[in-house]
């Protein structure tokens, strides 16, 4: 059975997406007839932009589970809410991350984005505060599912288990509301971009005690790369009910299916064969028409909230996720002749993997009196079990194709297929822990936030041959009773103006092996941050500044004394080095300067000290500035909101780039700026038109130098949205 014939449903995706969206668009009058009295006014309905909050308690913090605000959190945090996602046409997690202070977005290729913060890759992704990252599901998040996205910069080992000094991304799902609501949007843009999105909230009882929400989005697009196409279907259904006045249960299911063809894997040549710069066009794609990189994932989830009085909350989150990734991909290499275009060739790879992740988080939070003051406390525990199966495929290692002329190649070559041999490797990682944190109000202006997590972590990989017979276990490693402490101080100088400091330790198990095929010991280190937070105009505007330092020892880097892929399982050998460190500062301002005028801006400076053999295949600037603003025009133009912004980064360098005439070269990219524009026009109370332009000046730049690929050219999209 060829890999192409494994279940993908690519033929039926587009009709399925259209059918589902059609049903959702028709659902509004049907649900309206059952749930809204004839005399109700449309003006009384609430829009879907609002966050549904059940009960009177504050939402738990994503860093400590304590019911504290961002102002009271001793760590840098950014929140991007639904209204901005819609107003600026941020369709994917890539679009969102480009608008987060201190986050750099890069790419290996079309299906492997890279996110960095404070010099290190972001791998801690959560949905409703449960870890979700895995090889089959990573970063394929459609924003249609989410009400808001929080990014907590710095280590978050208290709740994540593994502390990573970059950031934690927490995506909060949309939840049902008690009143009927609906929205529908269509979008079109550059490179035949087309998208439809529907969101219907319908109470199931007249009092809204039981309610539902259904979300669906279908995207069909090409890209600036030649031959690349992708269709993506995303759907979610959620049921929620108040079993009693203090008990709320939520259950739901979401699925996302990404089906790209012509996917890139690898780089675009820097140099011609004579050593001059090749200057190939941005649409250059060294993948043929038939290459593909399909991902699909589905998640069933359930939440329980039990409130006790006004101040205590018991919350349980659970999720079960299945993911699958299949690909046949082609890597381009060589150097083109500047006259004939010959000299480049293709090598191939194929993959077939699936995984399941089970996770749960249970905590109890509340307040207690002591010494004449009210204090907060949280106790809880979390558990996750990730099992990943990688199937061995028929080899494509000997396949090679010489491109006759890279500048005039249409990618039309015989298709390559791969199939399962029956052999497989099953890797399993279990993680569990208990945690506790508290906020003690030591004085009217001073609070101490402290906590700790006790973690267990174990992993192993079992191998099976083509007959299904177990052949051995490798990579077995276990860590028990590892304590990760967290402590922070917040001092209110005056109301709405505070200073803070926080410290947490870093403990991160790693799957890299040394030359003797033993797993490296976990990374250990510390994360320190101090800053100032302020609120203005009754909290509508926040301004923050912070300094930070993260240290890591036993950080895995390639063992360059051995060739790539020299270990028995085909992986490369690593060694642990001490002294990896990042240090820097950042400033951040978000909110409304005056009615109708918003601003979101951030500046980050970070210096990373890492081993020369630490090949991260990303080029990170020391200085990064982001600014975005929007203004609702006055008077007769008050239905029109215009906005724009830019991102600027300092010069970056790519070291040890292979050179066709021998040796290596250092390639530099000067500082550059990307300009974005957007406008929204309120046609009526129900209809809104949006225009968005990314890279408005059509700047040509490299998204990556070490893994050289061009960044996205100018992208223009227009959307029309209807809201009940």
pLDDT of residue 182: 96
**3 state SS of 432:** strand
Q: Who has greater pLDDT, 133 or 155?
A: 155
Where residue 45 falls among pLDDT bands split at 50, 70, 90?
very low
Measure Cα distances from 550 to 166, 282, 498, 575 in Å.
9, 37, 23, 20
- Across the range 527-534, mean pLDDT stands at 94
**Terminal-residue alpha carbon distance, the chain:** 49
Contact 187, 165 (CB under 8 A): no
Residue 259 pLDDT greater than 90, yes or no? yes
pLDDT per residue as tens digits for the range 582-606: 999 999 999 999 999 999 999 999 9
Mean pLDDT of 48-52: 40
Q: Which helix (H) or strand (E) holds 127?
A: strand 124-127
315 class by beta-carbon count within 10 Å (0-12 exposed, 13-18 middle, 19+ buried): buried
Helix (H, G, I), strand (E, B) or coil at 205: coil
Q: Is the pLDDT of residue 6 over 50?
A: no
Measured from the Cβ of residue 1, the count of other Cβ atoms closer than 10 Å reads 8
- If one compares 333 and 140, the residue with the highest pLDDT of the two is 333
At residue 136 the predicted structure's pLDDT band, cuts being 50, 70 and 90, is low
For residue 517, the Cα-to-chain-centroid distance in whole angstroms is 32
> What pairing do the DSSP bridges indicate for beta strands 181-189 and 193-203?
antiparallel
**DSSP assignments along 320-362, one per residue:** EEEEEEEEEEEEEEE---TTT---EEEEEEEEEEEEEEEEEEE
CA torsion sign for 112, 118, 119, 122 is negative
Q: What is the secondary structure of 178-191 as a DSSP string?
A: SS-EEEEEEEEETT
Range from 52-61, 488-497, 500-509, 612-621 carrying the lowest mean pLDDT: 52-61
**Sign of torsion, CA 658 659 663 666?**
negative
Tell me the C-alpha distance between 320 and 384, whole Å.
10
Residue 381, strand partner residues: 362, 434
In the three-class reduction of DSSP (H, G, I as helix; E, B as strand; rest coil), residue 243 is classed as: strand
3-state secondary structure 38-56: CCCCHHHCCCCCCCCCCCC
> What is the number of other CB atoms lying within 10 angstroms of the CB of residue 26?
12
- pLDDT tier, 162 (very low <50, low <70, confident <90, very high otherwise): low
Show the tokens assigned to 654.
């790519």
The DSSP string of 599-620 is EEEEEEEEEEE--TT---S---
Cα gap 223→177, rounded to integer Å: 37
C-alpha triplet 295, 472, 394: angle, nearest 5° = 45
User: Could you tell me if 303 and 252 are in contact, meaning their C-beta atoms sit under 8 angstroms apart?
Assistant: no
Q: What is the pLDDT of residue 352?
A: 93
The pLDDT of 604-628, averaged and rounded, is: 84
DSSP character at residue 224: S
String of DSSP letters for 552-582:
EESEEEE-TTS-TT-STTS--BEEEES-EEE
397 by Cβ neighbours in 10 Å (0-12 / 13-18 / 19+) ranks as exposed
Give the residues across from 550 on adjacent strands: 527, 582
Q: How confident is the model at residue 22 (pLDDT cuts 50, 70, 90)?
A: very low
Q: Can you tell me whether residue 89 is helix, strand or coil?
A: coil
The C-alpha atoms of residue 538 and residue 541 are separated, in whole angstroms, by 8
The three state secondary structure string of 474-485 is: EEEEEEEEEEEE
Q: Rounded to whole angstroms, how far apart are CA atoms 325 and 190? A: 27
pLDDT in tens, 193-230: 999 999 999 999 999 999 999 999 999 999 999 999 99
pLDDT at 473 over 60: yes
SS3 84: helix
């Amino acid at each position: 059975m060829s890999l192409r014939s494994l279940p993908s449903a690519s033929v039926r995706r587009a009709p399925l997406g259209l059918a589902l969206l059609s049903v959702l668009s028709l659902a509004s009058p049907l649900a309206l007839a059952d749930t809204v009295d004839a005399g109700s006014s449309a003006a009384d309905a609430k829009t879907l932009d609002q966050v549904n909050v059940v009960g009177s308690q504050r939402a738990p913090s994503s860093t400590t589970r304590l019911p504290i605000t961002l102002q009271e959190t001793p760590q840098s945090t950014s929140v991007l809410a639904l209204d901005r996602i819609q107003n600026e046409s941020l369709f994917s997690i890539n679009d969102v991350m480009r608008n987060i202070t201190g986050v750099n977005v890069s790419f290996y290729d079309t299906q492997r984005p890279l996110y960095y913060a404070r010099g290190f890759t972001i791998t801690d992704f959560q949905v409703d505060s449960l870890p979700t990252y895995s090889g089959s599901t990573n970063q394929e998040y459609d924003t249609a599912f989410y009400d808001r996205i929080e990014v907590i910069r710095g280590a978050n080992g208290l709740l994540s288990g593994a502390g990573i000094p970059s950031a934690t991304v927490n995506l909060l799902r949309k939840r049902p509301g008690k009143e009927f609501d609906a929205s529908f949007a269509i979008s079109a843009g550059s490179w035949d971009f087309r998208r439809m999105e529907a969101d219907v909230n319908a109470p199931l009882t007249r009092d809204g005690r039981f309610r539902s929400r259904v979300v669906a989005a279908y995207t069909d697009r090409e890209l600036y790369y030649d031959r690349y196409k992708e269709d993506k279907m995303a759907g979610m259904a959620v049921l929620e009910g108040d079993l009693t006045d203090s008990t709320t249960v939520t259950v739901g299911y979401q699925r996302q299916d990404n089906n790209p063809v012509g996917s890139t894997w690898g780089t675009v040549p820097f140099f011609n064969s004579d050593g001059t710069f090749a200057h190939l066009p941005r649409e250059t794609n060294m993948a043929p028409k038939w290459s593909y990189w399909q991902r699909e994932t589905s998640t069933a989830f359930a939440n329980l909230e039990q409130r006790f009085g006004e101040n205590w909350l018991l919350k349980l989150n659970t999720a079960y996720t299945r993911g699958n990734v299949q690909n046949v991909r082609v890597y381009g290499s060589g150097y083109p002749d500047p006259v004939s275009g010959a000299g480049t060739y293709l090598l191939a790879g194929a993959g077939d993997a699936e995984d399941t992740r089970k996770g749960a988080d249970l905590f109890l939070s509340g307040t207690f009196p002591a010494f004449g003051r009210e204090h907060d406390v949280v106790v809880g525990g979390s558990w996750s079990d990730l099992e990943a199966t990688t199937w061995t495929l028929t080899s494509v290692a000997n396949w090679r194709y010489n491109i006759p002329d890279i500048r005039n190649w249409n990618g039309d070559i015989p298709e390559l297929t791969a199939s399962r041999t029956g052999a497989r490797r099953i890797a399993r990682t279990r993680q569990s822990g208990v945690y506790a944190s508290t906020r003690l109000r030591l004085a009217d202006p001073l609070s101490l936030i402290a906590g700790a997590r006790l973690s267990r972590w174990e992993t192993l990989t079992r191998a099976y041959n083509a007959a299904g017979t177990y052949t051995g276990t490798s990579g077995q490693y276990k860590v028990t009773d590892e304590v990760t402490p967290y402590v922070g101080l917040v001092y209110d100088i005056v109301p709405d103006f505070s200073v803070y400091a926080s410290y947490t330790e870093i403990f991160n198990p790693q799957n890299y092996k040394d030359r003797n095929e033993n797993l490296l010991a976990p990374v250990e280190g510390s994360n320190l941050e101090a800053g100032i937070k302020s609120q203005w105009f009754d909290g509508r505007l926040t301004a923050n500044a912070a300094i930070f330092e993260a240290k890591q020892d036993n950080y895995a880097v390639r063992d360059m004394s051995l060739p790539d892929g020299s270990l028995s399982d085909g992986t490369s050998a690593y060694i642990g080095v001490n002294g990896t460190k990042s240090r820097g500062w950042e400033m951040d301002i978000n909110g409304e300067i005056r009615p109708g005028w918003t601003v979101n801006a951030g500046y980050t400076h970070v210096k990373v000290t890492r081993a020369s053999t630490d090949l991260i295949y990303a080029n990170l600037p020391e200085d990064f500035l982001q600014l975005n603003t929007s203004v609702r025009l006055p008077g007769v133009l008050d239905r029109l909101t215009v906005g724009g912004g830019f991102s600027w980064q300092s010069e970056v360098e790519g070291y040890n780039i292979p050179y066709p005439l021998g040796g290596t070269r250092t390639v530099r990219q000067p500082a550059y700026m990307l300009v974005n524009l957007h406008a929204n026009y309120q046609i009526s109370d129900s209809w809104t038109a949006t225009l968005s332009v990314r890279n408005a000046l059509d700047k040509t730049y490299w998204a990556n130098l070490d893994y050289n690929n061009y960044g996205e050219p100018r992208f223009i999209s227009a959307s029309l949205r209807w809201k009940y």
